[in-house]
Chains A and B, each alone.
Chain A
Amino acid sequence: MPVVPASSSPHVPDTEEQPQRRLYRSADGRMLGGVARGLAGHLGLPVVWVRLAFLGMFMFGEGLGVLLYAAFWVFVPLGVGGKPTGRSLFETLPDGRRRLRTPDKGQIVALAVLAVGVVLFITKVQVGGESGRYLWPTLLVGAGVVLVWRQADNARRAHWTAAAGRNARLLQAGRALAGVALVGVGLTVFIVVRGSAAQLGNLLTATLAVLVGIALLAGPWLIRMTQDLSEERLMRIRAQERAEVAAHVHDSVLHTLTLIQRNAEDAGEVRRLARAQERELRNWLYKPEGTGKDEAEEPDTLAEAVKKTAAEVEDHHGVPIEVVVVGDCPLDDRLGAQLQAAREAMVNAAKYGGEGGPVQVYAEVEGRTVFVSVRDRGPGFDIDAVPGDRMGVRESIIGRMQRNGGTARLRSAAGGGTEVELEMERAASAQ
């Protein structure tokens, strides 16, 4: 027999490609545990031969075949190896369902031999006789054990294929439960057949006591193991997240830091880079997923549009702009005009009032009214003192608002900064 690599990892699925093949139980096209198929793949024999050999040992070797098979099942890890002859009892349809494959010759032969073997076995132990009384419970227990063990395999397999829906999970639980029930019934029948029915109560109590004892002994260990497992999984998830953060930081932040070092003499450029990076990182860290990911996309709500406009002005002029938005609504033509006016106000604030600290932008949607205020803490100015040919404020801000049915107010005080208030009714059609 080949040495069984019990500790080897099952995560090397493709045994065919590797020069040194390892023994795996086959997860594909297996009838019970995939032992025969795996072994056949390993030895390079047809599966039917191996199966027949097991069957022979089962019938004439006083159960040696069963023992051997069970040993293989326990110790050989499950893999997607074996011999891909495609002789599965089932075939998987493209949509994931499985259906019974039309049997080919070898399979029919194998099934026939299996049937003969079972008949032989049953006649050998004489169903009606003394030993026959133990046969049915044994079969029951056997069937239950097989069911549960296959279940465990399936669970492990689902772990790699990650294709376990809710229904599948329910089915799994059902199967496991059925297996346990079968084993339980088998054991009970065993006991009842063996002792007289009168002793059943005593026996049950004793069994219960033993079970409780086992639970007490093994329980803590089991719990600790599951805890360790979930902890390990948590660590893995954390590590993944950390890797993602590291990748992002590496891509954008380190890049920006390099640029800053290179532009160290140019204070404005450094500030601009730092602000842009800060905003991007902030977006990435604090925004709920799904927003702020696609910068290129044109925003279609007011809040996004205000933030984007502010970001653009900030980038362009290197003056920090703090944005507070309360409420939100879809953009329409009037709000578009208001936004243009707001941008103009932000540019002015950044150009002339940026020395006094960050420019503050506040936008609020209240009912049908949208209010935007842009405020700086610069030196302030007197609109009446501005020469008539300077059209920036009059046309781009006040005029634009009025043409679209809104109002603009300018408040400015020497030393107190300038504030532009823009108010606009939303278009009637926009709901």
Chain B
Amino acid sequence: MTEENDRSRHVRVVLVDDHRMFRTGVQAEIGETERTGVEVVGEAADVDQAVTVITATRPEVVLLDVHLPGGGGVEVLRRCAPLMAAAENPVRFLALSVSDAAEDVIGVIRGGARGYVTKTITGADLVDSVFRVQEGDAVFSPRLAGFVLDAFASTDAPPVDEDMDRLTQREREVLRLIARGYAYKEIAKQLFISVKTVESHVSAVLRKLQLSNRHELTRWATARRLV
């Protein structure tokens, strides 16, 4: 696709975070529309506000904090589920959190977020992630990739009919490189595939994580006393 990193387009973004300082910081970092192509069209500080603002502005991407007053990011995802499923201009969520605890990460991913990055991310990487999510791809932080690998590692005793749940060798490789801190572009170079292919692998992982592996994930999370 030629749209990739095409900064002539604008992505409309809503910022959801209960810390005003942080919102201001992100706004300053990525909100210069001329330079970054990201336009912050709304901000919200709690769950109710977030749902209202998102419904009213219909942004393309929501930067969602995980810990929010009123039920947390998961609650926002639950109440915005119809918007995510909309046929045209679906709203996509990118979780942006200071926490990289497994329960938070897995929670919002299963809630339907298209990616998860921690707040230590640089402004340029964040802009990149926003574009990626807007295009429908998944964005994983190394930490998140590690969690996913960990979760699927326990499925090595093969459940015969649940083949769908298991990661392919390639997807595993991609995740491993993400966990090692490689950027998508570097992974593509390393594996001699295109960036688009890397992205589709990651999206496939995300899909499996959300839909198919409930059983294993539950077991995994229970073993770790996460749920």
Is the A/B pair a real complex? yes
* Dominant SS among interface residues on chain B: helix
A286 to B67, CA, bound (A): 12
B60-104, CB < 8 A from A: 99-101, 104
Most A C-beta atoms less than 10 A away, residue of B104, B120, B146: B146
Nearest B residue to A365 via CB reads B153
Nearest A residue to B225 via CB reads A288
Once the chains bind, are A324 and B153 in contact (CB under 8 Å)?
no
Given A360-B142, A362-B142, A375-B180: A326 touches B150 (CB 8 Å cut-off): yes
Once the chains bind, are B225 and A322 in contact (CB under 8 Å)?
no
Asked if A364 is at the interface (CB within 8 A of a chain B CB), the reply is yes
User: How many contacting A-B pairs (Cβ < 8 A)?
Assistant: 46
Once the chains bind, are B180 and A327 in contact (CB under 8 Å)?
no
B168-227, CB < 8 A from A: 176, 179-181, 186, 224-226
Asked if A373 is at the interface (CB within 8 A of a chain B CB), the reply is yes
Asked if B145 is at the interface (CB within 8 A of a chain A CB), the reply is yes
Given A288-B224, A322-B181, A326-B153: A364 touches B142 (CB 8 Å cut-off): no
A contacts with B, residue count (CB < 8 A):
18
Given A324-B142, A364-B176, A375-B181: A286 touches B99 (CB 8 Å cut-off): yes
A68 to B224, CA, bound (A): 60
Once the chains bind, are B180 and A373 in contact (CB under 8 Å)?
yes
A322 to B146, CA, bound (A): 12
Of B104, B120, B179, the residue contacting A326 (CB under 8 A) is: B179
Once the chains bind, are A360 and B153 in contact (CB under 8 Å)?
no
Asked if B166 is at the interface (CB within 8 A of a chain A CB), the reply is no
Of A288, A360, A416, the residue contacting B181 (CB under 8 A) is: A360
Once the chains bind, are B149 and A326 in contact (CB under 8 Å)?
yes
Contacts of A358 on B, CB cut-off 8 Å? Answer: 120
Nearest B residue to A322 via CB reads B142
Asked if A366 is at the interface (CB within 8 A of a chain B CB), the reply is yes
Once the chains bind, are A360 and B101 in contact (CB under 8 Å)?
no
Asked if A325 is at the interface (CB within 8 A of a chain B CB), the reply is yes
Contacts of B181 on A, CB cut-off 8 Å? Answer: 322, 360, 362, 375
Contacts of A373 on B, CB cut-off 8 Å? Answer: 180
Nearest B residue to A411 via CB reads B190
Question: In the complex, what's the smallest C-beta–C-beta distance from B221 to chain A, in angstroms?
Answer: 11
B119-161, CB < 8 A from A: 120, 142-143, 145-146, 149-150, 153
Given A322-B181, A373-B180: A364 touches B149 (CB 8 Å cut-off): yes
Given A322-B142, A326-B179, A360-B181: A286 touches B150 (CB 8 Å cut-off): no
Contacts of A364 on B, CB cut-off 8 Å? Answer: 149, 176, 179
Question: In the complex, what's the smallest C-beta–C-beta distance from A131 to chain B, in angstroms?
Answer: 65
A351-377, CB < 8 A from B: 358, 360, 362, 364, 366, 373, 375
Question: In the complex, what's the smallest C-beta–C-beta distance from B151 to chain A, in angstroms?
Answer: 10
A366 to B167, CA, bound (A): 15
A419 to B225, CA, bound (A): 34
Of B99, B179, B225, the residue contacting A324 (CB under 8 A) is: B179
Contacts of B224 on A, CB cut-off 8 Å? Answer: 288
Question: In the complex, what's the smallest C-beta–C-beta distance from A5 to chain B, in angstroms?
Answer: 42
Nearest A residue to B181 via CB reads A360
Once the chains bind, are B101 and A286 in contact (CB under 8 Å)?
yes
Once the chains bind, are B180 and A360 in contact (CB under 8 Å)?
yes
Question: In the complex, what's the smallest C-beta–C-beta distance from B171 to chain A, in angstroms?
Answer: 14
Interface string of A305-335 (1 = CB under 8 A from B): 0000000000000001010111100000000
Most B C-beta atoms less than 10 A away, residue of A325, A327, A362, A416: A362
B32-48, CB < 8 A from A: none
Once the chains bind, are B143 and A324 in contact (CB under 8 Å)?
yes
Once the chains bind, are A366 and B142 in contact (CB under 8 Å)?
no
Question: In the complex, what's the smallest C-beta–C-beta distance from A412 to chain B, in angstroms?
Answer: 14
A98 to B224, CA, bound (A): 42
Given A288-B225, A322-B142, A326-B146: A362 touches B180 (CB 8 Å cut-off): yes
A375 to B176, CA, bound (A): 13
Nearest B residue to A376 via CB reads B181
Question: In the complex, what's the smallest C-beta–C-beta distance from A90 to chain B, in angstroms?
Answer: 43
Of A286, A322, A362, A366, the residue contacting B153 (CB under 8 A) is: A366
Contacts of B100 on A, CB cut-off 8 Å? Answer: 286
Contacts of B145 on A, CB cut-off 8 Å? Answer: 324
Once the chains bind, are A327 and B150 in contact (CB under 8 Å)?
yes
Question: In the complex, what's the smallest C-beta–C-beta distance from B175 to chain A, in angstroms?
Answer: 9
A365 to B108, CA, bound (A): 26
Contacts of A327 on B, CB cut-off 8 Å? Answer: 150, 153
Most B C-beta atoms less than 10 A away, residue of A324, A327, A362, A373: A324
Interface string of A410-431 (1 = CB under 8 A from B): 0000001001000000000000
Given A322-B143, A327-B150, 20 other A-B residues pairs in contact with their CB atoms under 8 A? A285-B99, A286-B104, A288-B225, A288-B226, A322-B142, A324-B142, A324-B143, A324-B180, A326-B150, A358-B120, A362-B142, A362-B146, A362-B176, A362-B179, A362-B181, A364-B176, A364-B179, A373-B180, A375-B180, A416-B186
23 pairs, CB–CB < 8 Å, chain A vs chain B: A285-B99, A286-B101, A286-B104, A288-B225, A322-B143, A322-B181, A324-B142, A325-B146, A326-B146, A326-B149, A326-B150, A326-B153, A327-B153, A360-B142, A360-B180, A362-B142, A362-B146, A362-B180, A362-B181, A364-B176, A366-B153, A373-B180, A375-B181
In the A-B complex, list the 9 residue pairs whose CB atoms are closest, starting with the nearest.
A360-B181, A324-B146, A286-B101, A362-B180, A326-B149, A324-B179, A326-B150, A373-B180, A362-B179
